[in-house]
Amino acid sequence: MSAEIQIKDTVTNNNVVLFMKGTKSMPQCGFSSRVAGVLNFMSVDFADVNVLADDEIRQGIKDYSDWPTIPQLYVKGEFVGGCDIITEMMLSGELDTLFTENGVAFDKDAADKIREANA
């Protein structure tokens, strides 16, 4: 199976997917750690794909999204963004709205705590 087909299958069959360096329980870069940390703290059920385990997926996800960096977050098959975008969306409340509109369960109180801590 080609990397493109694997990626499409993964983003289509999971509500939330994070392509990252490492795993959600053991991130291997600061940017991946930040995004996985936010999702974990908010109790979002998400699939993690360790791009360090497969060079074809690592390059393939960049081609698939036409986005040069990792991590990359997908919600309901749509590319949302990388670390800076996810951080901004978290702090502005846009990430809450995105999850709510797409029927993705998350801990609203935890999201509010993140914003309070960064105010």
CATH top-level class of 3-117: alpha beta
| pLDDT score of 38 | 95
Read off the pTM: 0.95
Which residue positions form the known binding site?
A: 29
* Alpha carbon distance 6, 22 (integer Å): 18
Annotated binding site for [2Fe-2S] cluster: 29
* Domain boundaries of the chain, sorted by first residue: 3-117
pLDDT along the chain (119 residues), means of 10: 92 97 96 96 97 96 96 97 96 97 97 92
Closest CA to 29 of 9, 5, 58: 58
